[in-house]
Chain A
Amino acid sequence: MRPLTIQRVFLQCSILVVILFVVVVIALKFGAVPVSLYALGHDLLRVIFGQTSQISSDYGLIVVNIRLPRILLGIIVGACLSVAGASFQALLRNPLADPYVLGVSSGAALGSILALIAEPHLSLSPAFAALLTPMGAFFGAAATITAVYFLGRREGQIDSNTLLLGGVITASFLSAVIMFLMNTLSGNLRGLAFWLEGDLSTPLQKSVYWFLSIGFFVAAGAIYTTAADLNLLLAGEKEAMHLGVDVPRVRLVVYVAASFLTGLAVSVSGAVGYVGLIVPHVMRLIFGSDHRTLLPTAALGGAIAVVGADTLARTVVAPAELAVGAVTAIVGAPLFIYLLRKRLS
């Protein structure tokens, strides 16, 4: 018997932090304009010591002002989606649950768009107006997962296949509504492709990064307090209750926090698909399915995956760019089919 210890969780996370660092350096180096590692190190040290004014070269400015914010965004989006995916999988007892597959991302996108449409009519202060999109995304995500949850019930029990089918249909329906809205309402809303396939290229205000980071840590932290409960919830709600889990409380915490994480990610990047599916699966294979280690490793793994995918998206067809969602879907969709077939056989 070797039960999980906090030291082991830290060790596993440190390994992933090192990998994330390497991926970030690669992402900074490669792009339409290549940058030497030496110059990169030099400029990064200047950023760390707050001497940004001394960065003179154009290359340095590209790295600091364009690539670095985009990488930070990728880290947060990947972490949010992976933790949300792992949480939905436990909550719905379905290893194929993922914010994108279940239509939750589309719901969040629709919520964001409705918030963007409503914003000019509400005369809010600028600080509050900036938060309206993520809040709209959160309510869109929460409403969608509620709807999918009830669609997935048969005779009072969650049926895995009905749930997935309900999610896929909901996603397709919501995408159609988004397309309808985007085609009938013109204005300065961000483009259609952004919401439907996911993209990290939109520059954001500095305050939004703070909001995203704090939002992630609060929501992921709330889910982490239920990590041991989620392990038992995998065996079913009745069994978890008999083992001492306060099922309604855990369900509420995880449901709200995972919807919020999806909303955060979608409001700034659109619907990046399959991250919440692939990453928790890979982390389970490597580190085991205990949520006390799965949640933090999935967060780091999600960051690695999205930063890596975005680097590919920026470089494979350079100087043009792919949307990051296209890269994650090319990898994720076949894996989804594989997992589905393996489970059905």
Chain B
Amino acid sequence: MSNGSAVARNPNDAPRASSDARLSVEQVSYAYSANPAQAPLFTLEATSFQAKPGEIVAILGPNASGKSTLLKLIAGELAPLSGRILLDGFVTQSLTPRTRAQRIAVVQQESVLLFPARVWEFVLQGRHSHGRSLRFESADDVLIARNALAQVGAAALSGRWMDQISGGEKQRVILARALAQQPLLLLLDEPTLHLDIAAQVGLLDALRRLAAENRYTVVVVTHELNLAAEYADQVVLMQRGRCLRVGPPASIYQRELLEQVFQTSLAVEFGASGRPRVTVLSGT
């Protein structure tokens, strides 16, 4: 606490980026153990990064690097062992579920329904945190849900049943529900995992456009090097529970570094756009 107030009193002490940052992850660590008496099975070492409105951050790393744990910490699903996560100056961990859902939307990979629901009913669920506990959706809620569907190009799906649309369509509908929450921060865990290449590009193009239009801060967990290179403004590179580097793709994508993290031979080229492109060299 004393640290935070000192920063507030003397803005010169704080790095320039923090003043206009929306999301600020400060020295956050975590340890998971099945049994408190034993050594932890998994640890996340102190990790820090910041993100501005409209920015896309990719948390990149191989399996078991701690990237999903970092996302769960940001989502408030897990409590950090040390450090803190601020969203517009509020500690996310201390927000109530309702206020947190008004500010942070988590886009799931899958949503399993027990009983059939229409697409529009599903998207309206995103409005839940904006109403009282027992309430019926207002005309505004319907309008916001309809806009959210239109923003992901799924307006035509509105009347369809959730279990009768394709995987790519479903992913966009799940994204629309998150948009209906009107969040400040959008979190996605491997959103392209089950999608074909056209649907992957479609989803990420939509994300980039939405981040720019609505000034969302977007945090995406992925192990897809090229999608992160193409779409992210910042990359947080993770390996075995450690945050190795934070920065724009051009500064992170160095052949030796990526080869060491991903344990395979790679080639990195820089295209005309200035964004790096990675090729996996098989059989070497």
Q: Which residues of B contact A231 (CB under 8 A)?
A: 125
Stretch at the interface among A111-119, A203-211, A237-245: A237-245
- Tell me the complex Cα distance, A247–B77, Å: 12
Q: Closest residue to A2 on the B side, CB-wise?
A: B120
- A244, B112: Cβ atoms closer than 8 Å: no
- A243, B101: Cβ atoms closer than 8 Å: yes
If the complex has contacts A245-B128, A246-B98, are A229 and B133 also in contact, measured as CB distance less than 8 A? yes
- For the complex, is B113 an interface residue (Cβ under 8 Å from A)? yes
Query: Which residues of A, 238-263, contact B by the 8 Å Cβ criterion?
Result: 238-239, 241-247
Stretch at the interface among B140-148, B229-237, B246-254: B140-148
Stretch at the interface among A11-19, A49-57, A220-228: A220-228
Q: Which residues of B contact A290 (CB under 8 A)?
A: 121
Query: Which residues of B, 101-135, contact A by the 8 Å Cβ criterion?
Result: 101-102, 104-106, 108, 111-117, 120-121, 124-126, 128-129, 131, 133-135
Q: Which 7 A-B pairs have the closest CB atoms?
A: A244-B129, A244-B101, A289-B115, A3-B137, A242-B106, A1-B120, A244-B98
Q: Is the contact region of chain A dominated by helix, strand, or loop, or is it mixed?
A: loop
A residues adjacent to B (C-beta < 8 A): 1, 3-6, 93, 95, 224-229, 231-232, 234-236, 238-239, 241-247, 284, 289-290, 292
- Tell me the complex Cα distance, A3–B101, Å: 21
* Closest beta carbon of chain A to B190's beta carbon, Å: 15
- For the complex, is B97 an interface residue (Cβ under 8 Å from A)? yes
- A243, B128: Cβ atoms closer than 8 Å: yes
- Tell me the complex Cα distance, A232–B181, Å: 14
If the complex has contacts A3-B142, A225-B133, A229-B133, are A235 and B111 also in contact, measured as CB distance less than 8 A? yes
- Tell me the complex Cα distance, A232–B113, Å: 10
Counting contact residues on chain B (CB < 8 A from A), the size range is 35 or more
- Tell me the complex Cα distance, A244–B146, Å: 20
Q: Closest residue to A89 on the B side, CB-wise?
A: B114
- For the complex, is B96 an interface residue (Cβ under 8 Å from A)? yes
Q: Closest residue to B106 on the A side, CB-wise?
A: A242
Q: Which residues of B contact A6 (CB under 8 A)?
A: 136
- B113, A235: Cβ atoms closer than 8 Å: yes
- For the complex, is B215 an interface residue (Cβ under 8 Å from A)? no
- B115, A284: Cβ atoms closer than 8 Å: yes
- A235, B112: Cβ atoms closer than 8 Å: yes
- For the complex, is B43 an interface residue (Cβ under 8 Å from A)? no
Q: Closest residue to A247 on the B side, CB-wise?
A: B97
5 CB-based A-B contacts, threshold 8 Å: A3-B137, A228-B131, A239-B108, A239-B111, A284-B115
A228-B134, A239-B108 are known; give 9 further A-B pairs, CB within 8 A.
Answer: A4-B137, A228-B128, A232-B125, A235-B111, A235-B112, A242-B105, A242-B106, A244-B97, A244-B181
- B97, A246: Cβ atoms closer than 8 Å: yes
